[in-house]
């Protein structure tokens, strides 16, 4: 999507935001528009985005000439290791300052939520010594923050270091316009991702729903088979859940499920999956290739610790939990076989009328 005229650029980007679902292509088009001779005509443009936890700014992409010499690395390589905490205070930068750290420039732009323009300062980034990458220097620098309400999504930095051309105020207006369009595109992408994520989640407990669990099970079986590692499923059942609702109220029962979900999330690895399996049941997928004995140990430990929690605001032990375990080695994995084993184990655990984990052997 190459603009033909400078004043056509915002319109072209706006259309791309509406038509293109790929955020990466939209942001690449914006950076290209900043450096394109038929766009704003800057030498280079750098885009820094907030990480998933909104804790720091990190390099996302860059456009323009890497440098003037044959030994120059790609722009992305020259930003290796770069990060700026979003909590960093906004430092003072005076006209004519030399060797201003690029981190300070971004911290100022993000901290004040204001554009920055200077044709006299010199800013630089010194990569980690072990990277072997040369210092990145910028002069004739402009920066605009990408802000939604009071949240900083990122910062765009543009410079004319190689050409030495001064940045004019009207170019800053163009840069701010493209920054606003980048903000819209990023926020739209975040919203779409949140909506997609919500569709995968159980509305009450916030863990994944059964539909997503079944999709992931097929995917994880493929991964485990290729990696030649086992896969284990652990199901937890809140015993006499209907009685809990009748005795203590549905609100108590719902809170007990929420509390159990939170407990499980805090006890398993981030790469393992937790999903609501039934009305009063959860499943944990252990993806790390645990042995059968290790899976049994994890299952029983989780069950025993869960009973010790004050689930639903009730005294510890009031909510009783049983469960089932299914485990298969890599050469026996199959979603139907594994799911049937889990259901069999869970059914036996429920019929046993005891707080125990039941393991089903592969037939």
Quick one: tokens of 237?
């059942």
Average pLDDT, the chain: 89
**Strand, helix or coil at 114?**
coil
Q: Are 156 and 146 in contact (CB under 8 A)?
A: yes
Comparing 6-198 with 210-359, is the CATH topology the same? no
Q: What's the N-to-C CA distance of the chain in angstroms? A: 58
124, containing H or E segment: strand 116-125
| pLDDT tens digits for range 101-133 | 999 999 999 999 999 999 999 999 988 877 777
Task: Say if residue 324's pLDDT is above 80.
Answer: yes
The span from the CA of 305 to the CA of 303, in Å, is 6
pLDDT at 362: 76
- Better-predicted residue by pLDDT, 362 or 114: 114
**Strand, helix or coil at 283?**
strand
Which region among 80-84, 266-270, 279-283 has the lowest average model confidence (pLDDT)? Answer: 80-84
Which fold is adopted by the domain 6-198?
Beta-Lactamase (3.30.450)
Q: Domain spans of the chain?
A: 6-198, 210-359
Mean of pLDDT values over 17-22? 66
Task: Say if residue 7's pLDDT is above 60.
Answer: no
pLDDT at 66: 60
Q: Are 283 and 264 in contact (CB under 8 A)?
A: no
The span from the CA of 232 to the CA of 93, in Å, is 56
pLDDT at 78: 79
CA distances to 99, 100, 140 from 122, in Å: 5, 6, 8
Q: pLDDT band for position 355 (50/70/90)?
A: confident
Which region among 76-80, 220-224, 271-275 has the lowest average model confidence (pLDDT)? Answer: 76-80
Say which residue the tokens 């443009």 belong to: 45
How far is C-alpha 192 from the geometric centre of its chain's CA atoms? Answer: 13
pLDDT at 353: 76
Q: Are 283 and 317 in contact (CB under 8 A)?
A: no
- Better-predicted residue by pLDDT, 168 or 194: 168
Task: Say if residue 4's pLDDT is above 50.
Answer: no
Spatial CA neighbour of 224 closest among 271, 181, 288: 288
Q: pLDDT band for position 193 (50/70/90)?
A: confident
| pLDDT tens digits for range 70-101 | 333 477 677 878 999 999 999 999 999 999 99
Task: Say if residue 157's pLDDT is above 90.
Answer: yes
Torsion over CA: 104, 110, 113, 119 (sign): positive
Mean of pLDDT values over 204-215? 95
Which region among 21-30, 45-54, 344-353 has the lowest average model confidence (pLDDT)? Answer: 21-30
- Better-predicted residue by pLDDT, 85 or 53: 85
User: For a pLDDT cut of 90, what percent of the chain falls above it?
Assistant: 72
Task: Say if residue 51's pLDDT is above 80.
Answer: yes
The span from the CA of 290 to the CA of 267, in Å, is 16
How far is C-alpha 300 from the geometric centre of its chain's CA atoms? Answer: 31
pLDDT at 361: 79
Spatial CA neighbour of 14 closest among 145, 182, 144: 182
Q: pLDDT band for position 135 (50/70/90)?
A: confident
Quick one: tokens of 196?
């997609």
Mean of pLDDT values over 195-211? 92
Which region among 77-86, 140-149, 234-243, 292-301 has the lowest average model confidence (pLDDT)? Answer: 77-86
pLDDT at 2: 42
pLDDT at 17: 62
Spatial CA neighbour of 181 closest among 3, 49, 18: 18
Mean of pLDDT values over 30-43? 90
How far is C-alpha 195 from the geometric centre of its chain's CA atoms? Answer: 14
CATH class of this structure's domain 210-359: alpha beta
Task: Say if residue 9's pLDDT is above 60.
Answer: yes
Mean of pLDDT values over 58-78? 68
The span from the CA of 142 to the CA of 39, in Å, is 16
Taking each helix axis as running N to C, give the angle between helix 9-19 and helix 23-35, from 0 to 180 degrees, rounded to the nearest 10: 170
Mean of pLDDT values over 311-330? 94
Task: Say if residue 205's pLDDT is above 90.
Answer: yes
């Amino acid at each position: 999507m190459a603009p033909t005229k400078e004043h056509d650029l915002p319109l072209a980007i706006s259309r791309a935001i509406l038509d293109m679902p790929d955020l990466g292509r939209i942001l690449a088009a914006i950076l290209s528009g900043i450096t394109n001779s038929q766009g704003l005509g800057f030498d280079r443009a750098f885009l820094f985005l907030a990480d998933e936890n909104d804790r720091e700014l990190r390099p996302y992409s860059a456009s323009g000439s890497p440098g003037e010499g044959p030994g120059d690395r790609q722009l992305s390589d020259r930003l290796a290791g770069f990060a700026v905490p979003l909590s960093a205070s906004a430092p003072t930068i005076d006209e004519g300052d030399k060797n201003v750290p690029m981190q300070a420039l971004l911290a100022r732009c993000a901290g004040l939520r204001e554009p920055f323009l200077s044709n006299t300062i010199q800013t630089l980034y010194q990569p980690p010594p072990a990277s072997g990458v040369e210092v990145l220097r910028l002069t004739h620098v402009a920066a605009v923050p990408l802000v939604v309400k009071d949240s900083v999504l990122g910062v765009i930095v543009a410079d004319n270091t190689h050409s030495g051309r001064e940045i004019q105020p009207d170019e800053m207006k163009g840069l701010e316009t493209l920054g606003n369009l980048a903000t819209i595109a990023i926020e739209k992408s975040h919203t779409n991702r949140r909506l997609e994520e919500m569709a995968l989640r159980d509305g009450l407990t916030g863990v994944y729903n059964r539909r997503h669990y079944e999709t992931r099970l097929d995917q994880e079986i493929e991964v485990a088979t290729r990696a030649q590692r086992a896969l284990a499923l652990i199901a937890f059942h809140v015993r006499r859940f209907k009685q809990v609702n009748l005795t203590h109220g549905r609100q108590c029962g719902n809170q007990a499920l929420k509390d159990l979900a939170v407990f499980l999330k805090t006890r398993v690895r981030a790469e393992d999956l937790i999903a609501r399996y039934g009305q009063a049941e959860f499943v944990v997928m252990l993806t790390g290739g645990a042995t059968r004995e290790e899976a049994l140990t994890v299952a029983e430990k989780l069950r025993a610790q869960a009973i010790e929690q004050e689930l639903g605001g009730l005294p510890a032990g009031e909510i009783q939990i049983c469960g089932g375990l299914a485990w298969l080695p890599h050469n026996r994995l199959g979603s139907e076989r594994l799911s049937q084993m889990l259901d069999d184990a869970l059914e036996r655990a429920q019929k046993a009328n005891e707080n125990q984990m039941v393991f089903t052997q592969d037939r």
